[in-house]
Structure 1
Amino acid sequence: MQTTTLYDQDFYAWTQHQVELLRAGQLGELDIENLIEEIESLGRQERRELRNRLGVLLGHLLKWHYQSEARSKSWVYTIKEQRQEIRRHLKENPSLKPYLSEAIEIGYEKGLNLVGQETPLDPEQLPQSCPFSEADIFEAPIDWQLK
């Protein structure tokens, strides 16, 4: 018979209880197995955040490059915001920098999907690996003078 634990019943309450135990130095009372799982999950979440933001950024860079006639102010600000957030995320998590090239590859796949969802473009007709350098992705000026 499996017992339901606080972790299973009320995750927030479980987190607060674990904090109290840590602060009180009651390390023997900690739910070590679930703490390990949650800390690992937090690390995966940081990588996922980077990939997702890159997907949005790369999708908009593809749209910008391949649909110049449809450029909009909204695209400019999405590109700007994603660049800022990715820079901030990497500054707060510098150990993700070695993962950046892999994250760009995965993010590019997401970007192709975004293009397929939001435009008449066929993602199969676009480059299947990221055509943008890191400088293009993070620094290339976006023409603020929209057509």
Structure 2
Amino acid sequence: MRTLSKEELKRLYDEDFPLWAEINLELLKEKAYDLVDWENLLEEIEDMAKSDLKACISYLAVILEHLYKWDNFKDLAGEEHTGRKWIKSINGARREIDAKFKQYPSLRNKLPQELEKAWIEARKELYNWLEDNDYEPDDFYIPEECPYTYEEAMSRDLKKELKI
């Protein structure tokens, strides 16, 4: 293994991440702890720990977005769209969340605390959807605070509300 100074190793983090990771792994295996780029390594570990929670927040945002569309925009969607796509999307996002919970049980307690983050993402997508459909988003009321509870987002059965 080639020898790098701590400064060179830190610079390598931005210039060649795979090589940076490889060198840090070797340093850890050799127990050369004083040479490891701890600052960036700890940041990477923290990001890894958050990545699955971020995925769950994104799935929750999809659920919230489509619940809100169901409750407020079915008339805008037109007759050809009865909300079935939204139901499928909600159910798919719930399955993805459940799969993450099975894989990483600690997320089950963390996700309910992230409802407002998910709503921020959902609001953005609602505005984009309105614009994409040639509506002026500011003409519609989309609340700042999430109008749904976590429990409602995860369990409300829209199929029971579907009018065929």
TM-score bucket (shorter structure): 0.7 to 0.9
Say if 1:115 and 1:121, in contact at 8 Å, map to a contact too: no
Q: Mark the runs of 5 or more structure 1 residues left unpaired by the alignment.
A: none
Tell me, in whole angstroms, the C-alpha distance in 2 between the residues paired with 1:86 and 1:46. Answer: 10
> Could you tell me the percent identity over the aligned residues?
27
1:1-147 map, 5 Å? 3=8, 5-69=11-75, 70=77, 71-119=82-130, 120=135, 122=137, 125-143=141-159, 147=164
Deviations 1:19-54 (A, max 9, x none): 334345444443222211211222343443232222
Tell me, in whole angstroms, the C-alpha distance in 1 between the residues paired with 2:144 and 2:63. Answer: 16
Give the match's secondary structure for 2:159: coil
Task: For residue 122 of structure 1, report the CA deviation from its aligned partner.
Answer: 4.5
Say if 2:60 and 2:93, in contact at 8 Å, map to a contact too: yes
Q: Tell me how many residue pairs correspond in the alignment.
A: 146
Tell me, in whole angstroms, the C-alpha distance in 1 between the residues paired with 2:14 and 2:119. Answer: 36
Tell me, in whole angstroms, the C-alpha distance in 2 between the residues paired with 1:121 and 1:86. Answer: 32
TM-score (normalised: structure 2): 0.69
Question: Rg larger in 1 or in 2?
Answer: 2
Greater mean deviation of Cα atoms: 119-128 or 67-76:
119-128
Task: For residue 127 of structure 1, report the CA deviation from its aligned partner.
Answer: 3.9
Tell me, in whole angstroms, the C-alpha distance in 2 between the residues paired with 1:134 and 1:128. Answer: 16
Task: For residue 134 of structure 1, report the CA deviation from its aligned partner.
Answer: 2.7
Deviations 1:3-29 (A, max 9, x none): 573323210122233333434544444
TM-score (normalised: structure 1): 0.76
Task: For residue 82 of structure 1, report the CA deviation from its aligned partner.
Answer: 1.2
Greater mean deviation of Cα atoms: 7-16 or 67-76:
67-76
Q: Mark the runs of 5 or more structure 2 residues left unpaired by the alignment.
A: 1-6
Tell me, in whole angstroms, the C-alpha distance in 2 between the residues paired with 1:106 and 1:8. Answer: 29
